Structure 1
Amino acid sequence: MPRLMLLDSASLYFRAFHGVPDSLTAPDGTPVNAVRGFLDSVAHLLTVHRPTHLVACWDDDWRPAFRVEALPSYKAHRVAADGGEDAPDALGPQVPVIVDLLAALGLARVGCPGFEADDVMATLATRAAARGSDVDVVTGDRDLFQLVEDAGPGRPAVQVLYVGRGVRRLEVVDLAWLRAKYDVDSGQAYADMAVLRGDPSDGLPGVAGVGEKTAVGLLRRFGDLAGVQAAAQDPASDLSTGQRQKLLAAADYLAAAPLVVRTVREAPVPEVDDAVPTAPADVDALGALVHRWGVQSSVERVLVALASLR
């Protein structure tokens, strides 16, 4: 059974940067903690979860214009003075090193201009599932819980390997997990709940006074987000006066937020050779990178993990 693993690359290298000591440096003293942590995470994921295919998904646009146009507050608090994403100074130079190492190892990497890595993962997961492949989405971003689907007749499974507590303590998110944690019955219901609840870390205000439990209760009563909005507009619905007022006050937000929260499943992501390689794509380039950056042990762990999949 083919199994595609999709890496939320930025999620992994940000977590590696903050979780691995910056005392890990290249021979010239340059920090390589994010590089080492990213590679070690990939080696662990390959060893434990054994995908047949893998893609490192990239943020070609971390704050797409179509989402900002819909909701100007989207990630606005993360914009740096130069207009890019606010990130630690020591992390930026390590990202191109990760790019070069992925290429030398032969591990597929892909982004899509105008779209986030979330959209790349959603599109690739949708394509893979249509081909009959199970999918593991590796991320620390709860927004991607909306992609979860259990296997059924003629339908493969899409699950999230949630690394909120670290790669070695990840949680396997399927529909049973979503029901137990959030009392929602589908990935789409999770996305609707996220719209109502909001997410300050992404600049989504949500509906004032509506938390997770209230949001789930509304969705169970009225079916989905559209049903909740219709109930707010219907004087005959059994919404309390307070809930109706809150929902009506947030009407503009509720009209815009779904475009921001829901991933794009048909982004123009290019096709890539995503088969897990049996050998490095460029041995000489890999050797030069290992020597330049002092990452031999981490690269060796990835190579051992790849060899174990043959």
Structure 2
Amino acid sequence: MLLDAASLYFRAFYGVPTSITTPDGRPINAVRGFLDMTARLLTAHAPDRLVACWDDDWRPAFRVEALPSYKAHRLAPDGSEEVVPDDLSPQVPILVDVLAAAGIDRVGAPGYEADDIIGTLATRADRPVDVVTGDRDLFQLVDDARGIRVLYTARGIGDIELVDEAVVTAKYGIPGRAYADFAVLRGDPSDGLPGVAGVGAKTAAALINEFGDLAGIRSAVQRTVVPRPPLTAAVLKKIHAAANYLDAAPVVVAVAKEIDLPPIEGALPRTPADPAALAALATAHGLESSLKRLGAALGWPADAVA
């Protein structure tokens, strides 16, 4: 099980009231929610390995260089960093410390997003993989033959949608592994990905079904003399006009699958890695109940979290 950590702690922050606080009154809702979600996932799906995948760089330079609009709408006014709610920022280092003390592997890589960690670990995996995320971009990793599916949290952790190739086809009318090219064509405003102007989901799906992939579509555009659906004269004009975008966007959308990462075991901790540190964190931040639920899901002894 690969957790898209930022996706989950943002979801926890917005899904759990900020009235959930530490003993000294600071919001701790994102950490509590993240731990409770993880416990529920472990109980429901019983993975034998678990990795929290981290954004060491939420807006990597190679993606911005290819497409400057990538996530630009999320930048602070001075352009220096991502806008994060004031009550969330201080909770992230606490979560880092809790994961370390619990013994749950947390993996990032300089210059890459969690998506790229997930793509690399899923590609390496010698067993089925569940990717937990609220980000549709990771639908591109779905692979029935290798047992890679997405546990999609858009409706909340209590109503997870299991996304396999059939679900991608049912949602978007495209082959199950064609999501990345579909996203390039249609665009995704949440990531600052404009798409091909005037080409919506229906036309994007028709083009992929007719020509197989983005390379096939662009080749057909160059060959077409007499327009015919789905390459009508209007669509041909739109794709020609978007040539520069279509050169750049695949670099932005495609999840990296070959990051140079060390071997990652992801073994489930059967006892906390640092019981004293975990107990101190539980007391300082009011995390006792959430850590007991996590411990129960991991099979820890009842007294592992004092």
Q: Any conservation in 1 of the 2:166–2:176 contact (CA below 8 Å)?
A: no
1:38 to 14, 25, 34: 34
TM-score, with structure 2 as normaliser:
0.95
Q: 1:72 aligns with which of 65, 68, 71?
A: 68
C-alpha separation in 1, matches of 2:109 and 2:190? 23
1:47 to 17, 38, 43: 43
1:282 corresponds to: 274
Q: Distance in 1 between matches of 2:36 and 2:234?
A: 51
Counterpart Cα distance in 1 of 2:173 and 2:144: 16
Output aligned runs, 1:150-161, within 5 Å.
150-151=144-145, 156-161=146-151
Tell me the equivalent position of 1:204. 193
Show structure 2 runs of 5+ residues with no match: 302-306
1:86 partner SS? coil
Cα distance between partner residues in 2 of 1:235 and 1:304: 62
Secondary structure of 1:161's aligned partner? strand
Q: Distance in 2 between matches of 1:73 and 1:142?
A: 18
* Higher mean C-alpha deviation, range 237-246 or range 26-35: 237-246
**Cα distance in 2 for residues equivalent to 1:245 and 1:273:** 50
User: Normalising to structure 1: TM-score of the pair?
Assistant: 0.94
Matched position secondary structure for 1:119: helix
Summarize the alignment of residues 244-283 of structure 1 with structure 2, pairs less than 5 Å apart.
Answer: 244-283=236-275
Q: Which amino acid aligns with 1:172?
A: L
Question: Which residue type is aligned with residue 256 of structure 1?
Answer: A
Deviation per residue, 1:225-283 (Å, 9 max, x gap) = 01111122223263211010000010100110000001000012232331111111111
Q: Which amino acid aligns with 1:34?
A: A
| Residues 146-165 of structure 1: CA deviation (Å, up to 9, x unaligned) | 000013xxxx3000000001
| Larger CA deviation: 178-187 vs 17-26 | 178-187
Q: Deviation per CA, 1:13-69: give whole Å up to 9, x if none.
A: 000000100000001111000010000000000000000000000000000000000
Aligned to 1:58: 54
Check whether the contact 2:141–2:149 (CA below 8 A) recurs between aligned residues: yes
Letter of the 2:141 counterpart: L
Q: Within 1, Cα distance between the matches of 2:291 and 2:300?
A: 14
Residue matched to 2:214: 225
- Measured in 1, the distance between the counterparts of 2:252 and 2:77 equals 23
Given candidates 94, 97, 102, the residue that maps to 2:91 is: 94
Say if 1:54 and 1:275, in contact at 8 Å, map to a contact too: yes
Query: What amino acid is the match of 2:135?
Result: D
Q: Contact (CA 8 Å) 1:222, 1:228: kept in 2 or not?
A: yes
- Once the two structures are aligned, what percentage of the paired residues are identical? 61
SS of equivalent to 2:144: coil
| d(CA) in 2 for partners of 1:308, 1:175 | 36
Determine the structure 1 residue equivalent to 2:304. none
CA distance in 1, matches of 2:2, 2:132: 6
Q: Does 1:116 align with 2:92?
A: no
4+ residue stretches of structure 1 with deviation over 3 A? none
For the 8 Å contact 2:270–2:300, the answer to whether it is kept is no
Distance 2:140 2:165 in 1: 10
State the secondary structure of the residue aligned to 1:268: coil
C-alpha separation in 1, matches of 2:77 and 2:34: 27
* AA aligned opposite 1:162: Y
How far apart are residue 108 of structure 1 and its match? 0.5
Matched-pair contact (CA < 8 Å) for 1:110–1:270 = no
1:14 aligns with 2:10: yes
In the alignment, structure 1 residue 243 sits paired with structure 2 residue 242: no
